[in-house]
Amino acid sequence: MQYRTKEEQVADYLREGIIAGRFPRGARLKQVEIAKLLKTSITPVREALKLLAAEGYVMGDSYRGATVMPFDISASREMLNLRILLETQLVRGAVERATAADIEELRVLARNFERAVAEQKNEDARAANYRFHRRIHAIPNLPMTLHFVQILWARYPFDLINKVEGRVGRAVAEHTQIIDAFAQSDVTAAVLATRRHVETGWQELERSMKSSPPGGSPAAALEPQKSPEFLEN
């Protein structure tokens, strides 16, 4: 298992929380509350926020706190193309290096996602989805590529995509196809399954946006919601 500093652990916790919707877009994060929850000092929290600011997950003053970055829907098409390019490279390397233990871990993570979907626990499902893909991306040990993918994920409209009717259920099947390709050591099938998975989510979002009622805004789903933790008083 690759060693991670305290700062990296805090940063990954916050990344997952932002993508899962635990920390809503536009919410103000408070260092003291995060440190208290994670049972750590302020310093790794402050450094983690600096890292997330550089990646585009948050903005603001790392000493006073930071605000979760809003989505930029207009840039999503470009981010889609970059995601496909970089994530398929990570998957290619992952299939070539994956051990039986890695594949079994992916199956467990995929089952966690499926369970959360079945129980309609949306936040848990988004968090499980993040862990599944983050585990795949870590296998090939390509830190620069992984870094750029994390930057793309920071501004990608996962919240909107996951609100498309039936999308998370279809993602369960798509995860299974990716894992099956891993189990067969089939690089081509894994790359194609990953590409379809990323593209399908975006295409379903586009269709949903086009079918929105006149005057309605698909981005309304991204309105920050009050959270009991980490919000500025």
Beta-bridge partners for 68: 58
Compute the distance between CA of residue 150 and CA of residue 230 in angstroms, rounded to an integer: 22
Q: Kindly report the CATH number assigned to the domain that includes residue 16.
A: 1.10.10.10
Helix (H) or strand (E) holding 137: helix 122-138
Is 58 within 8 Å of 49 (Cβ atoms)?
Answer: yes
Q: Based on the domain organization, do 65 and 88 belong to the same domain?
A: no
Output the pTM of the full model: 0.80
Cα-flanking dihedrals φ and ψ of residue 225, to 5°? -110, 150
Q: Would you give per-residue pLDDT tens digits along the chain (233 residues)?
A: 456 789 999 999 999 999 888 898 888 998 999 999 999 999 999 999 999 999 999 998 656 669 998 876 666 788 899 999 999 999 999 999 999 999 999 999 999 999 999 999 988 999 999 999 999 999 999 999 999 999 998 888 887 888 888 999 999 999 999 999 999 999 999 999 999 999 999 999 888 888 765 555 444 443 434 343 443 32
- 228 within domain boundaries: no
Q: Based on the domain organization, do 66 and 180 belong to the same domain?
A: no
Q: Based on the domain organization, do 107 and 176 belong to the same domain?
A: yes
Q: Based on the domain organization, do 66 and 78 belong to the same domain?
A: no
Q: Based on the domain organization, do 66 and 77 belong to the same domain?
A: no
Q: Residue 61: give the domain boundaries.
A: 6-70
Domain end call among 70, 101, 118: 70
Total number of domains in the chain: 2
Compute the distance between CA of residue 226 and CA of residue 233 in angstroms, rounded to an integer: 11
Q: Based on the domain organization, do 193 and 114 belong to the same domain?
A: yes
Compute the distance between CA of residue 189 and CA of residue 177 in angstroms, rounded to an integer: 8
pLDDT of residue 62: 55
